[in-house]
Amino acid sequence: MYDKSNFLALNKKSDWERGRGENLLLAEEGISLMKEQKYTFLRTIIHNDTGISEPIASISSGPFGLIFLLDKAGNLWTYDFINGQTTLLLKAGHNLFSGQAILAAAKNIIFVIEPNPAAIIAVSAVNGQILWIESEFYGGIPLAAVSVNEQLLVVTSLNDLHMPGNEFNSKITHLAIIKITSEGKSHILASPASLFIKHDTDDLQSGRIGTAVGNDGNLYIFDNREGQLWIFTPNGNLLVNKRLSLSNSAKSMGVDSEGFIYICDQPQVNQDAENNWSVYICSAPNWEPIRSFNHRGTIEYIWLDPENRIFIWKLNEFNLSILERQDNIRLDDNGNPRGVYIFPVLDSIAMEMDWHRITMDADIPDDTQIRVSYFASDNKEILLQERMRNIEVYLQDRAVPLTEKLAAIKLPWKQELVNPRDALLREARGRYLWLKMELIGSETRTPLLKKVRIYFPRTSLISYLPAVYQESDGSQGFLDRFLSLFGTMLQEMEEKIDHLDRIFDPEVVSGTFLSWLAGWLGISADDKWSEDQLRCLLINAPSLYKKRGTRAGMEEIISVYTGEKPIIVEYFQYKYLQETIEIKQLMTQLYGQDPYGFAVMVKQDLVPSASQVSALQRIIDEEKPAFTDARLVVLQPWIYMDMHSYLGINTYLTELSLLRLDDKSAMPFSSVIIDMERNSQRDIHSREQITP
């Protein structure tokens, strides 16, 4: 069309890291606003929701949205808060524990810790069966408990020491950590001299000690009254012994999967103590509160489940609030979902360069924006606030936040472009070009900047017109911008022609061109093939054609489609097993009796849909040797006599566990699923048959 233009492209993480960003995530896929997880209310459960008449004495959360409840009468319940279903697991009258016991739920075991007399009862979380009872507590009283990997850690008292000269007759109670295995074997894990609490009465305060276990297996112990925090390793070694800067009203403790501690406390301001509490989040290494969020209402206990849901329990009224994490856009210092990025300086290596246009590949949701500002200069040093400054050094200096730099000095930014997927750079003349991108998001969504191209020098179709069209300054500017629409279209067309060779490279090309290339090689790939599968097939096509009609070729092409090598059984492999009639019948049923046939077996999870099974069958029919019979067998993941059951391949021996419906729900063994509508119709039909 006209003189070829150049461009500078930034499209990968190493490019982004050369620039400077604030409140932005720089990744391989592009630039986006930083996200942080905030807690929002999932739901609140009150006593009436559970259908339990007795007051609740203890509570613990399990997997798949299950909550285990112990009422004051001694009944043990399971409550599925997602589906709102309550199940009586163990009825009162068992004489094993009272309504004063402490619950600690593991995956398949509920540990019930009875304080008087001290005992531990392990109950199956599936059917309420008593697994074992342990009554040895080394002379102490259990104060708190938490489960980890089907084992139990109990914080218990050891002995009381009177403090002489104290008018309140205070006592020091030393504590110990007892570890109980899933089989009921116990031993003292740790009991350092620094693990003690002080109390003013003969009885220890109920719920004074809080416990939690992190993902790393560390045990966290918190003294609510004193604000004392201890952290122990899984081996019982003391890591942290620190008093936190909290009030004497602190309540309970929870730990998330990242090791952050959540502690409830009243804020240190003049607020209504009954209706205003805060959840403080503490982190290593100082273990002081780094942020907090408010909760309306009194908090008695707080804990987190394996999905990092927060449970906040108001004991007296049984008001259980459940909070769930959500990804939110991180706000900047002004409270806006906004991030700023300064590109590394772009050097055209030519003085007085007239920069042409900018193109941008980005995902921009409806309620988000990307704003672009720019300016150009022949020198990196320009006059700002009556002194010469090197702009590149100034902007890329990480000692001062970028937003402070931009606010301190007013740079000569040109007009702001909003969502410029393809825009002209007007009045951008100079060797160097600086670009500023502002990403503006919503509460939960962010734009994603994937690729930026800057074209130079400026070229225009107006140079092909008679001189009269280039003389008037007013009309020339409009005509130049108008013709740039067509110039951009022609330029993109020329770029595609110049890079025509790329559509013949299966490692680069995508979309419909992959299927088009497959047609060149005689490969009939339908929409059941993903782009990655089809690309792998095209790359390996030369070697596959050499092996076509062989067992190795069949294994390789099926591996391309399924991602795993299949099992192929041929007649000669089981021919010698057919000496008896019973085995011969079984072999015939499983693999057939055709000497020229074979069976191809794949796991069900590799071809989960019927369409994928049909596509795989077509591949086998096309690749098998002529005049042979091929059977496709999809291995089901269960044991079934006289069927294709292969131990370690599609069948595994494991322990009994809950039926997991999804990542939030489970069904115990005692559940029965019936079709109420069909049963009702069957009953009506039966009555009709016997009605005289």
27-83 tens-digit pLDDT: 988 999 998 888 888 888 888 888 898 888 889 888 777 899 999 999 999 998 888
pLDDT surpassing 50 at residue 573: yes
User: Quick one: tokens of 43?
Assistant: 């739901």
User: Quick one: tokens of 268?
Assistant: 């240190």
Tell me what the mean pLDDT of segment 371-382 comes to: 90
255-273 tens-digit pLDDT: 998 889 998 887 655 444 4
Query: What confidence score (pLDDT) does residue 286 get?
Result: 85
User: Residue 172: beta bridge partners?
Assistant: 161, 198
Q: Are 302 and 253 in contact (CB under 8 A)?
A: yes
More confident of the two residues 136 and 394: 394
More confident of the two residues 384 and 11: 11
Cβ neighbours, 10 Å, residue 248: 10
**Residue 124: exposure state from Cβ atoms within 10 A (0-12, 13-18, ≥19):** middle
78-127 tens-digit pLDDT: 998 888 889 999 999 888 899 889 999 988 899 999 888 888 999 998 88
Query: What confidence score (pLDDT) does residue 206 get?
Result: 60
**Helix or strand or coil: residue 169?**
coil
324-346 tens-digit pLDDT: 888 889 988 888 999 999 998 99
pLDDT surpassing 70 at residue 666: no
Query: Sorting pLDDT into bands at 50, 70 and 90, what band is 374?
Result: very high
What phi and psi, each to the nearest 5 degrees, are found at residue 371? -110, 135
pLDDT surpassing 90 at residue 478: no
Query: What confidence score (pLDDT) does residue 161 get?
Result: 52
- Find the range with the poorest average confidence among 111-125, 468-482, 632-646: 468-482
pLDDT surpassing 70 at residue 437: yes
- Find the range with the poorest average confidence among 31-35, 164-168, 339-343, 533-537: 164-168
Give me the half-sphere count of Cα atoms (radius 13 Å) on the Cβ side of residue 217.
9
What phi and psi, each to the nearest 5 degrees, are found at residue 583? -70, -35
Q: What percent of the chain has pLDDT over 70?
A: 82
Extended strands (E) in 405-546? 417-418, 422-424, 432-440, 448-456
Q: Are 265 and 250 in contact (CB under 8 A)?
A: yes
Query: What confidence score (pLDDT) does residue 163 get?
Result: 46
Q: Are 350 and 56 in contact (CB under 8 A)?
A: no
For the chain, how many residues are written? 692
Tell me what the mean pLDDT of segment 144-153 comes to: 90
Q: Are 82 and 65 in contact (CB under 8 A)?
A: yes
**Residue 251: exposure state from Cβ atoms within 10 A (0-12, 13-18, ≥19):** buried
- Find the range with the poorest average confidence among 242-256, 470-484, 569-583, 596-610: 470-484
Tell me what the mean pLDDT of segment 227-234 comes to: 93
pLDDT surpassing 70 at residue 583: yes
Query: What confidence score (pLDDT) does residue 448 get?
Result: 94
Tell me what the mean pLDDT of segment 602-628 comes to: 86
pLDDT surpassing 60 at residue 462: yes
- Find the range with the poorest average confidence among 121-135, 354-368, 642-656: 642-656
pLDDT surpassing 50 at residue 525: yes
Backbone dihedral region for residue 27 (phi beyond 0: left; psi -120 to 50: alpha; all else: beta): beta
Query: What confidence score (pLDDT) does residue 77 get?
Result: 93
Give me the half-sphere count of Cα atoms (radius 13 Å) on the Cβ side of residue 368.
23
More confident of the two residues 397 and 138: 397
Query: What confidence score (pLDDT) does residue 683 get?
Result: 45
**Residue 277: exposure state from Cβ atoms within 10 A (0-12, 13-18, ≥19):** buried
Query: What confidence score (pLDDT) does residue 168 get?
Result: 44
**Alpha helix locations (H) across 547-596?**
551-562, 571-574, 581-591
Tell me what the mean pLDDT of segment 181-185 comes to: 88
Query: What confidence score (pLDDT) does residue 205 get?
Result: 56
Q: What percent of the chain has pLDDT over 90?
A: 21
Question: What are the structural domain ranges in the chain?
Answer: 6-34+333-459, 244-326, 547-654
Give, in order, the Cα–Cα distances in Å from 558 to each of 244, 523, 565: 60, 14, 7
More confident of the two residues 628 and 486: 628
Query: What confidence score (pLDDT) does residue 664 get?
Result: 54
Query: What confidence score (pLDDT) does residue 626 get?
Result: 84
Q: Selecting from 3.30.460.10, 1.25.40.10, 2.40.10.500, 3.10.129.10, what CATH number does the domain 244-326 have?
A: 2.40.10.500
- The verdict on pTM exceeding 0.85 is no
**Alpha helix locations (H) across 274-326?**
none
Query: Sorting pLDDT into bands at 50, 70 and 90, what band is 237?
Result: very high
Tell me what the mean pLDDT of segment 503-513 comes to: 76
Rounded CA separation 190/53 (Å): 40
Tell me what the mean pLDDT of segment 570-588 comes to: 79
Tell me what the mean pLDDT of segment 529-534 comes to: 80
Query: What confidence score (pLDDT) does residue 691 get?
Result: 34
Mean pLDDT estimate for the chain: 81
Rounded CA separation 27/446 (Å): 14
Query: Sorting pLDDT into bands at 50, 70 and 90, what band is 167?
Result: very low
pLDDT surpassing 80 at residue 511: no
Tell me what the mean pLDDT of segment 524-545 comes to: 79
Q: Selecting from 3.40.50, 2.60.120, 1.20.120, 2.60.40, what CATH number does the domain 6-34+333-459 have?
A: 2.60.120
Query: What confidence score (pLDDT) does residue 690 get?
Result: 35
Query: What confidence score (pLDDT) does residue 668 get?
Result: 56
